[in-house]
């Protein structure tokens, strides 16, 4: 079916997708661990075998995006290479081999009246994933949903449509091999934005949770309009704090990686805070390393006095997720001042401290309320794959149910099973 054919009937198309997803969810909820592992193992093999077709589809998406004058950071998120496909294949394999969460007994206990109570993991049902530009989300979200017994509806952006479809075709090979219905994983077949609105309204009660993956505008719209629960973060305004006890080599190397490894990912550092006591020893080497890699520095008065190549930071810079080779830098008087700055400006995604003083580290960990806190390591480890989850369906910064990288366990709820022997309540 072509995009032109589905556009006039978005509501009907989405309603059918919702109904089919519910049927797929029922099948997955009772699928055996072996079926789910087979589905994902075969899918990983299909992605590897069909990488030429995936790369060709991605080349088509890249050409269209470049013609639109899309930013370098966006293009980096959209781009697939052999190495990135290797990563996708490895992620799906890792998820396939994870313990099956469905049916796991989280807790169990006996009551004085002889009742035995179990709290058991169950799938959420149907997950709607709305994402922009990142075709790897197709595989990560699909694999995590299947492993956790959930059907998934994927609505990718128009920029990654062909790439996502090529990956979905491989995922469907896995479902066929495991004798699971293809309705378990569906890619919305239209780039019409009306489809997003239909998903946010819940598709007649058939979507149980929405996961947005994209820019601030998309995530804000989802959080404002969704009539179903949302796992989301609004933005990744990530901080790195260099304590007065920081080792210089760690401070330089970690900051450089946190900012410049990939500037467009949500775990990329956007603000650097440096303790005043190490300005003379640490500031210039860190800034020089960043600028050597093409990073623009926007600093406060002290930073600008120490480096004439920097720009003056404004209040807006402390609030900005650049998603580009730009970082704001501020000198702080103490770890307490760093914590106060982070708590004021942070999006509660990821924050790092570079320090050798265990007291400073514990204070940082205890007093900052972000989903992920890192000591002496790059903030770009804020990723489900790096956590050992195989991948992530997103990173949640809220406090209900899921927080941080959302993996298979976070894609489950639970129910209680109570076993008795004829007990009645007085």
User: pLDDT by residue (tens digit) across 21-75?
Assistant: 999 999 999 999 999 999 999 999 999 999 999 999 999 999 999 999 888 878 9
Under a CB-based contact definition with an 8 Å cutoff, are residues 371 and 404 in contact? yes
Length of the chain: 426
| Alpha helix positions (H), 216-349 | 216-225, 248-260, 284-292, 301-306, 335-345
Tokens 């309603």 map to which residue? 15
pLDDT given at position 178: 97
Question: Is residue 348's pLDDT more than 70?
Answer: yes
pLDDT attached to residue 6: 45
Task: Give the pLDDT band (50/70/90) at residue 233.
Answer: low
pLDDT at 259 over 50: yes
198-209: average pLDDT: 95
> Cα(211)–Cα(53) distance, rounded to whole angstroms?
28
pLDDT at res. 380 = 95
The predicted model scores a pTM of 0.81
Kindly state the percentage of the chain with pLDDT values over 90. Answer: 77
Q: What is the DSSP string of 335-386?
A: HHHHHHHHHHH--SSEEEEE-S-HHHHHHHHHH---SEEEESS-GGG-STTT
Determine whether 182 is exposed, middle or buried from the number of CB atoms within 10 Å of its CB (0-12, 13-18, 19+).
middle
* pLDDT single digits (tens) 279-332: 999 999 999 999 999 999 999 999 999 988 889 999 999 999 998 999 999 999
Statement: residue 394 has pLDDT above 80 = no
CB 58 within 8 A of CB 81: no
Q: Which residues of 319-358 are buried (b: 16+ CB within 10 A; e: fewer)?
A: ebbbbbbbbbbbbbeebebbbebbeebbbbbbbbbbbeee
3 confidence band (pLDDT: 50, 70, 90)? very low
Q: Is the pLDDT of residue 188 over 90?
A: yes
Q: What is the pLDDT of residue 8?
A: 55
For the residues of 145-200, what is the DSSP string, one character each?
A: HHHTT-EEEEE--GGGHHHHHHHHHHHHHHHHHTT--GGGEEE-S---THHHHHHH
């Amino acid at each position: 079916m072509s995009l032109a054919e589905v556009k006039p009937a978005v509501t009907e198309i989405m309603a059918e997708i919702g109904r089919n997803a519910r049927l797929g969810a029922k099948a997955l909820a009772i699928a055996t661990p072996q079926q789910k592992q087979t589905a994902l193992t075969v899918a990983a093999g299909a992605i590897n075998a069909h990488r030429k077709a995936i790369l060709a589809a991605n080349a088509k998406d890249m050409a269209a995006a470049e013609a639109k004058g899309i930013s370098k950071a966006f293009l980096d998120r959209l781009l697939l290479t052999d190495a990135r496909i290797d990563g996708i294949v490895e992620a799906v394999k890792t998820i396939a081999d994870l313990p099956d969460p469905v049916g796991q007994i989280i807790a169990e206990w006996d009551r004085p009246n002889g009742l035995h109570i179990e709290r058991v993991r169950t799938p959420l049902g149907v997950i709607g994933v709305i994402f922009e530009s990142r075709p790897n989300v197709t595989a990560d979200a699909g694999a995590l949903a299947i492993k956790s017994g959930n059907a998934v509806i994927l609505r990718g952006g128009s920029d990654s449509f062909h790439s996502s479809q090529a990956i979905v075709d491989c995922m469907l090979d896995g479902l066929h091999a495991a004798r699971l219905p293809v309705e378990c994983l569906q890619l919305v077949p239209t780039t019409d934005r009306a489809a997003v609105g239909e998903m946010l309204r819940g598709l007649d009660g058939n979507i149980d949770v929405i996961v947005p993956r994209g820019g601030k505008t998309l995530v804000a719209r989802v959080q404002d309009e969704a009539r179903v629960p949302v796992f989301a973060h609004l933005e990744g305004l990530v901080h790195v704090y260099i304590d007065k006890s920081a080792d210089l080599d760690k401070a330089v190397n970690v900051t450089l990686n946190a900012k410049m490894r990939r500037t467009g990912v949500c775990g990329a550092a956007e603000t650097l805070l440096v303790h005043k006591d190490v300005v003379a020893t640490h500031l210039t080497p860190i800034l020089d390393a960043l600028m050597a890699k093409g990073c623009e520095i926007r600093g406060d008065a002290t930073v600008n006095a120490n480096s004439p190549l920097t720009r003056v930071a404004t209040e807006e810079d402390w609030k900005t997720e650049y998603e580009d080779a730009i970082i704001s830098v501020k000198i702080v008087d103490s770890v307490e001042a760093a914590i106060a700055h982070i708590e004021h400006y942070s999006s509660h995604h990821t924050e790092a401290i570079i320090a050798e003083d265990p007291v400073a580290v514990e204070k940082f960990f205890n007093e900052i309320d972000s989903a992920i806190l890192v000591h002496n390591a790059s903030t770009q480890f804020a990723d489900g794959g790096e956590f050992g989850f195989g991948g992530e369906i997103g990173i949640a910064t809220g406090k209900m149910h899921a927080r941080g990288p959302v993996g298979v366990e976070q894609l489950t709820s639970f129910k209680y099973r109570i076993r008795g022997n004829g007990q009645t309540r007085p």
